[in-house]
Chain A
Amino acid sequence: MNGGIEYLFSFKDAFAQPATRVFLWIILGAFVAAPIVMLALQGRMSEATRRDAWVRYRTWLLIAPAFLAPVLFAPATAIAAVAVVSILCYREFARATGLFRERSLSAIVAAGIVLVACASLDHWYGLFAALTPLTVIVIAAAAVLPDSPKGYLQRVSLASVAFLLFGSGLGHLGYIANDPGYRAILLLILVSVQLNDIFAYVCGKSFGRRKLFPHTSPGKTLGGHLGALVLTTAFAAAMGHVVFEGTALDRWPALIALGLIISVGGQLGDLVLGSIKRDIGVKDMAATLPGHGGFLDRMNSSLLVAPAVFHFVGYALGYGLEREPRVFSSLVGF
């Protein structure tokens, strides 16, 4: 019997890392500052913008604690929370594209997401990595069984892309929970990505003019992109210095590279969802989160960042390498 199970439910040192506490103060500060800023700018905003901003803020007050509480509580709840978000994102994508009518493919993607979470809980990287190609081949194979090739490629492609982005991609956030220092790493990713969105919005409003992707996302401007790139990289590098203090990553070139990955990945993730929505012909993926749209409209920027940052940090440091792997599967002699 190894200490793996106790680790998964270890909540006593949730706030032990200084970086975790710094992030929580930043989040708390943002929640306090946002209404003050909105009140200060009230005169300069149109009635519609103002109402939209308040609705967004109220939704933030609900979704931020709802996601952060399980992420910070213990590794097992963090992995479960990521899996739930993966499922919600898949559900939205499937309903928006019509893929949800292919029930067996939906069941396979959902099973793939659950297995990704199980591999993460098990601390079994081999299975975690293998699930990406395995789920895709199961999708491709299962889709031939009804013997109706019309639309085969579309069904298989939609299901595969959905699993790759929401199951495998986002699932990397869950696997990070195998590292005892996971809380600070996840907060670094989540907070930087959301700030990246805000920086892009604010910079775009302030000095953005030239549109870079008028067909994909007409609201985005060069000024917004560059402003977010500079500010997010600076923020992520500075906070990365706190998170990874004294490790191989604690060098400015590495930290700046990390910041660039987060900022570029976040903005591209935004454009990926923008392209998906334009292609389908919808404005928001759903109406689940008032002011935001659907869960995907909130998670879009994390889609590409999750696996990219996972491997960048993973190559340098690894995740939970000092811990025994395969917590559960070794118990059943598998």
Chain B
Amino acid sequence: MDKWTYKPAADTQLQPLERLQSTRREAGLVSVGLHAVTTVGLRAYLGAYHRLRVIGRENLPRQTPFVLIANHESMLDSLVLISALPLRLRIETSPVAAGDVFFTNAVSSFLSAVFMNALPIRRKGVTTHALEDLRARLVEGRGGLVLFPEGMRSRDGKMLPFKSGLGNLVAGARIPVIPCFMDGPYRALPFGCVVPRPARITVRIGAPLSFEAQPNTREGWNEVVRACEGAVRGLAGDAARGG
């Protein structure tokens, strides 16, 4: 008889708070249910208040792993992107969120982890070590990521240059990167504002990019970042032309 193989959750040996703040966290039944309920509520809000429009849905992935990237100009951004995913994929997807904003204490960590399925990343001195956990997650097929390669919200609505960490995640691995561009979140909730205005939000989803052939080296990473930034800027151009 063949031996059974067990694959414990990657987070079993962490204490409760450590687990909430860990990129090794794996969601269980209750969390998954809460992610689904939260997403249904978010879709209703974004649809009714911001008349959310999604262009290019056919470019969305059909299975995990994947990385969804976009411009970052508002607190609404990750909410918009996860709402655009089909529910089946949404529950497997984690927005990568700033650890110094969304995981500062037990309460914020709990809310970010349980309702959003968010994973923290420390922005000060992001080490390759911190990115390794995220890459392992993707390579093992444990879900998709939503992240903003600019590394911070734009203060004036103009896109910032992408940071190279994205390259560490996907170079040389079979992980599609889906470029997106959002138009409207900045008008709805710019940096420094708390109450959203009812501005219309449009998401454009571009064709998936593959970086399987790129070497997992600094040159490879730079190439990944260049291609991704170009793809998102291209979508921004489409948006400006109204295409």
Contact = CB atoms under 8 A, between A and B. Distances in A.
Interface string A263-300: 00000000000000001111011111010000000000
B59 interface: no
B14 interface: yes
Nearest to A285: B12
B29 A287 contact: no
Interface in A94-123: 94-98, 100-101, 103, 106-107, 110
Nearest to A104: B29
B28 A95 contact: yes
Contact of A286 (B6, B13, B29): B13
A110 B29 contact: yes
A282 B175 CA distance: 31
B7 interface: yes
Contacts of B32: 103
Max chain A Cβ within 10 angstroms of own Cβ: one of B8, B13, B14, B15: B8
B28 A280 contact: no
A96 B8 contact: yes
A95 B15 contact: no
Given A287-B14, A290-B15, A95 B8 contact: yes
A107 B9 CA distance: 17
B29 A106 contact: yes
Nearest to A98: B7
A154 B13 contact: no
A154 B4 contact: yes
A288 B6 contact: no
Contact of A282 (B4, B8, B15, B28): B8
Contacts of B9: 95-96, 98, 100
B28 A98 contact: no
A281 to B, nearest CB: 7
A155 B32 CA distance: 20
B88 to A, nearest CB: 11
Nearest to A110: B29
A293 to B, nearest CB: 10
Contacts of A50: none
Q: Which of B4, B7, B11, B32 has the most CB of A within 10 A?
A: B4
B16 interface: yes
A56 interface: no
A103 B91 CA distance: 12
Nearest to B16: A288
Nearest to B29: A106
Contacts of B7: 98, 101
B15 A288 contact: yes
A112 to B, nearest CB: 13
Contacts of B16: 288
Interface string B23-59: 0001011001000000000000000000000000000
Nearest to A94: B28
A279 B6 CA distance: 9
B29 A100 contact: yes
A286 B15 CA distance: 8
A211 interface: no
A91 interface: yes
A110 B7 CA distance: 21
Nearest to B28: A100
A98 B12 CA distance: 10
A168 to B, nearest CB: 19
A268 to B, nearest CB: 22
B12 A95 contact: yes
Interface string B81-114: 0000000000000000000000000000000000
Nearest to A97: B6
Contact of A98 (B8, B11, B29): B8
Contact of A287 (B8, B15, B26): B15
Which of B6, B12, B15, B16 has the most A CB atoms < 10 Å from its CB?
A: B12
Interface string A204-223: 00000000000000000000
Contacts of A282: 8, 12-13
Interface of B: 4, 6-9, 11-16, 26, 28-29, 32
18 contacts: A91-B28, A94-B28, A95-B8, A95-B11, A96-B6, A96-B9, A96-B12, A97-B6, A97-B8, A101-B7, A103-B32, A106-B29, A107-B29, A110-B29, A284-B13, A286-B12, A287-B13, A287-B14
4 nearest A-B pairs in the assembled complex, by CB-CB distance? A98-B7, A95-B9, A280-B6, A106-B29
Given A95-B12, A287-B14, 8 more contacts: A95-B26, A97-B8, A98-B7, A107-B29, A110-B29, A279-B6, A282-B13, A287-B12
